Amino acid sequence: MATTTATITLSSADLTDNALGLGNTNTLYKAGGTIGLEKAQSGVRTYTSTGAVELLDESVVTQDGANKVYIKNLSEIATEYFEVAVQSEVIGRLYAGDWLWMPWSAGSSNNITVNPSVATTMKLEYTVVHE
C-alpha cells in the first residue's frame, strides 16, 4: 500500500525579533480512515490569454474524498499572478513563485479555475493527490 507524506518548513532570520523555524509533516489518508492516499495527477500548464480557465474538475478525483491540491505559479515576473477560484469564488492570487496547498472537496460545482493576469505565456504546475 502506497502512502504520501506532505512536509512543510518555514524559516526566517528576520520575521520576528528572533530567528524563526517551523516545520510539520503529515501522512495523507483516505477520508475517514488510516489507509494512505495512493493516486496522484500532476502536470505543467501554459496559458497565453487572460480569462478564467478550468484547471481541475471532479472527474479527476473521488468526489467528497480526501483530495489535496498543490498549485504553483512558475512565473519569474513579480507582477504576474494567477487568480485561483473554487466554485467561482476567488480564494486568492498566486504571484510569481507563490504556491498553495489545500484540501479539495470535489463535486459537480466545486471545480478549480485559474485566471492569468496577463496574456503572455504564463506557466503553473499542479498536483492532485487523491483516493
Print the domain residue range for 118: 39-130
Residue 28 lies in a domain: no
Residue 30 lies in a domain: no
Residue 100 lies in a domain: yes
Residue 55 lies in a domain: yes
**pLDDT greater than 80 at residue 123:** yes
**pLDDT greater than 70 at residue 82:** yes
98 vs 19, higher pLDDT: 98
Give the single-character DSSP code of 29: B
Which CATH number covers residue 113? 2.60.120.10
Residue 87 lies in a domain: yes
**What is the average pLDDT score of the chain?**
89
Q: Specify the number of domains making up the chain.
A: 1
Residues 61-78 have pLDDT tens digits of 877 788 999 999 999 999
Cα distance between the two ends of the chain? 12
Provide the pLDDT for residue 32. 87
